[in-house]
Amino acid sequence: MADASSDPLGGTDLDALIDDATTAADVKALSAFGYETRYRLVRLLVEADGPVRFDAITPYVSISDSAVSHALTLLCDAGLVEKEKDGRSRSYSPTERAEALVNALDRTR
Domain that holds residue 66: 24-107
Phi/psi zone of residue 99: left (φ > 0), alpha (ψ -120 to 50 degrees), beta?
alpha
Residue 32 included in any domain: yes
Q: Residue 93 domain-assigned?
A: yes
| CB-based contact 19:27 (threshold 8 Å) | no
Q: What is the CATH number of the domain that holds 38?
A: 1.10.10.10
| Closest-CA residue to 78 (of 23, 12, 31, 40) | 31
Q: Are 25 and 12 in contact (CB under 8 A)?
A: no
Tens-level pLDDT at each residue, the chain (109 residues): 455 556 676 767 777 677 888 888 889 999 998 899 999 999 999 999 999 999 999 999 989 999 999 999 999 999 999 999 988 889 999 999 999 999 999 999 8
33 closest CA partner among 105, 96, 83, 109 = 105
- Residue 98 placed within a domain: yes
In a domain, 37, yes or no: yes
pTM, to two decimals: 0.81
What pLDDT, on a 0 to 100 scale, did the predictor assign at position 86? 85
Question: For residue 28, what is the enclosing H or E element?
Answer: helix 20-32
Residue 43 lies in a domain: yes
Question: How far is the CA of 32 from the CAs of 46, 49, 65, 81, in angstroms?
Answer: 15, 22, 18, 11
Q: Is residue 11 part of a domain?
A: no
pLDDT at 20: 85
Q: How many domains would you assign to the chain?
A: 1
Residue 10 lies in a domain: no
